[in-house]
Amino acid sequence: MNDLSLWVHFPWEFTTLFAQQQAQPEQPNGNWFLSSLPLMLMIVFAYYMLLIRPQQQQENRRKSMIESLKKNDRVITKGGIIGVVTGVRQLSEKSKDSEITIRTHEDTKITILGSMIEGKMVEEKATKEKAVKE
Protein backbone atom coordinates (compact mmCIF):
# COMPACT_ATOMS: atom_id res chain seq x y z
CA MET A 1 0.00 0.00 0.00
CA ASN A 2 2.91 2.26 0.67
CA ASP A 3 4.20 1.73 -2.90
CA LEU A 4 0.85 2.75 -4.35
CA SER A 5 0.83 6.03 -2.49
CA LEU A 6 4.25 6.79 -3.98
CA TRP A 7 2.84 6.51 -7.50
CA VAL A 8 -0.20 8.59 -6.65
CA HIS A 9 1.84 11.48 -5.27
CA PHE A 10 4.71 11.21 -7.78
CA PRO A 11 3.31 13.50 -10.54
CA TRP A 12 2.63 16.39 -8.13
CA GLU A 13 5.98 16.09 -6.46
CA PHE A 14 7.71 15.89 -9.86
CA THR A 15 6.11 19.13 -11.10
CA THR A 16 6.89 20.86 -7.82
CA LEU A 17 10.52 19.82 -8.19
CA PHE A 18 10.74 21.34 -11.69
CA ALA A 19 8.89 24.48 -10.63
CA GLN A 20 11.53 25.11 -7.99
CA GLN A 21 14.43 24.55 -10.39
CA GLN A 22 13.28 26.92 -13.15
CA ALA A 23 15.62 29.82 -13.72
CA GLN A 24 14.38 33.36 -13.43
CA PRO A 25 13.70 34.91 -16.84
CA GLU A 26 16.53 37.08 -18.05
CA GLN A 27 15.85 40.79 -17.88
CA PRO A 28 16.03 42.59 -21.23
CA ASN A 29 19.36 44.23 -21.79
CA GLY A 30 19.45 47.95 -22.57
CA ASN A 31 22.12 47.33 -25.25
CA TRP A 32 19.85 45.38 -27.61
CA PHE A 33 20.91 47.58 -30.54
CA LEU A 34 24.61 47.00 -29.96
CA SER A 35 24.12 43.29 -29.50
CA SER A 36 22.20 42.97 -32.80
CA LEU A 37 24.51 45.29 -34.77
CA PRO A 38 26.91 42.53 -35.97
CA LEU A 39 23.98 40.50 -37.30
CA MET A 40 22.57 43.51 -39.16
CA LEU A 41 25.99 44.28 -40.66
CA MET A 42 26.38 40.68 -41.83
CA ILE A 43 22.95 40.81 -43.51
CA VAL A 44 23.80 44.07 -45.29
CA PHE A 45 27.18 42.66 -46.41
CA ALA A 46 25.56 39.47 -47.74
CA TYR A 47 22.90 41.51 -49.58
CA TYR A 48 25.60 43.63 -51.21
CA MET A 49 27.77 40.66 -52.20
CA LEU A 50 24.91 38.52 -53.54
CA LEU A 51 22.69 41.10 -55.25
CA ILE A 52 24.17 44.54 -55.79
CA ARG A 53 27.81 43.77 -56.69
CA PRO A 54 27.06 41.18 -59.43
CA GLN A 55 24.61 43.60 -61.08
CA GLN A 56 27.20 46.38 -61.05
CA GLN A 57 29.83 44.09 -62.57
CA GLN A 58 27.43 42.94 -65.29
CA GLU A 59 26.51 46.55 -66.10
CA ASN A 60 30.19 47.54 -66.29
CA ARG A 61 30.93 44.63 -68.67
CA ARG A 62 27.96 45.65 -70.86
CA LYS A 63 29.09 49.30 -70.97
CA SER A 64 32.63 48.34 -71.95
CA MET A 65 31.23 46.04 -74.66
CA ILE A 66 29.12 48.90 -76.05
CA GLU A 67 32.13 51.25 -76.02
CA SER A 68 34.18 48.68 -77.93
CA LEU A 69 31.61 48.29 -80.74
CA LYS A 70 32.98 48.97 -84.19
CA LYS A 71 31.85 48.67 -87.77
CA ASN A 72 30.84 45.16 -88.96
CA ASP A 73 30.22 43.78 -85.45
CA ARG A 74 27.11 41.58 -85.26
CA VAL A 75 24.86 42.64 -82.37
CA ILE A 76 21.52 41.74 -80.85
CA THR A 77 19.23 44.38 -79.38
CA LYS A 78 17.08 44.12 -76.28
CA GLY A 79 14.10 43.78 -78.61
CA GLY A 80 15.65 40.72 -80.25
CA ILE A 81 16.70 42.40 -83.50
CA ILE A 82 19.94 41.04 -84.94
CA GLY A 83 22.04 43.26 -87.17
CA VAL A 84 25.47 44.43 -88.23
CA VAL A 85 26.87 47.72 -86.93
CA THR A 86 27.38 50.26 -89.72
CA GLY A 87 28.11 53.32 -87.60
CA VAL A 88 28.66 54.50 -84.03
CA ARG A 89 28.24 58.14 -83.00
CA GLN A 90 28.49 59.72 -79.54
CA LEU A 91 25.33 61.75 -78.80
CA SER A 92 26.96 64.49 -76.72
CA GLU A 93 29.62 65.03 -74.09
CA LYS A 94 27.01 65.24 -71.34
CA SER A 95 25.22 62.09 -72.47
CA LYS A 96 27.31 58.97 -72.07
CA ASP A 97 25.06 57.09 -74.48
CA SER A 98 25.83 56.63 -78.15
CA GLU A 99 23.76 56.33 -81.29
CA ILE A 100 24.36 53.11 -83.20
CA THR A 101 23.20 52.38 -86.72
CA ILE A 102 22.70 48.71 -87.55
CA ARG A 103 21.87 47.00 -90.81
CA THR A 104 19.26 44.29 -90.33
CA HIS A 105 18.77 43.39 -94.00
CA GLU A 106 20.31 44.45 -97.30
CA ASP A 107 18.41 47.76 -97.56
CA THR A 108 17.22 48.20 -93.97
CA LYS A 109 19.11 50.32 -91.47
CA ILE A 110 17.96 51.12 -87.93
CA THR A 111 19.38 53.76 -85.60
CA ILE A 112 19.17 52.86 -81.90
CA LEU A 113 20.65 53.97 -78.61
CA GLY A 114 23.72 52.13 -77.40
CA SER A 115 21.95 51.26 -74.16
CA MET A 116 19.54 49.09 -76.18
CA ILE A 117 22.31 46.74 -77.34
CA GLU A 118 22.10 43.46 -75.45
CA GLY A 119 25.34 41.95 -76.69
CA LYS A 120 27.63 40.98 -79.52
CA MET A 121 26.91 37.93 -81.60
CA VAL A 122 29.84 35.54 -81.58
CA GLU A 123 30.91 34.28 -84.96
CA GLU A 124 30.60 30.52 -85.36
CA LYS A 125 34.01 30.22 -87.04
CA ALA A 126 35.77 31.93 -84.13
CA THR A 127 33.96 29.69 -81.67
CA LYS A 128 34.90 26.55 -83.60
CA GLU A 129 38.55 27.65 -83.84
CA LYS A 130 38.73 28.25 -80.09
CA ALA A 131 37.20 24.84 -79.43
CA VAL A 132 39.75 23.15 -81.73
CA LYS A 133 42.68 24.96 -80.04
CA GLU A 134 41.56 23.86 -76.59
pLDDT, tens digit, 9 for 90 and up, residues 66-84: 888 999 999 999 999 999 9
Inside any domain, residue 78: yes
Asked whether 110 and 83 are in contact (CB, 8 A), the reply is yes
Residue 27 has pLDDT above 90, yes or no: no
Domain range holding 82? 71-121
- The Cα angle at residue 19 between residues 17 and 22, in degrees rounded to 5: 110
pTM: 0.58
Inside any domain, residue 26: no
Inside any domain, residue 116: yes
* Closest C-alpha among 78, 55, 54, 80 to residue 66: 78
Inside any domain, residue 115: yes
Inside any domain, residue 47: no
Residue 7 has pLDDT above 60, yes or no: no
Inside any domain, residue 108: yes
- Interval 103-112 mean pLDDT: 93
Q: Is 30 helix (H, G, I), strand (E, B) or coil?
A: coil
Decide which of 9 and 86 is more confident.
86
Domains of the chain: total: 1
Residue 56 has pLDDT above 90, yes or no: yes
Residue 88 has pLDDT above 80, yes or no: yes
Inside any domain, residue 66: no
Percent of the chain with pLDDT over 90: 40
Residue 102 has pLDDT above 90, yes or no: yes
Inside any domain, residue 104: yes
Say what the pLDDT of residue 92 is: 78
Say what the pLDDT of residue 96 is: 78
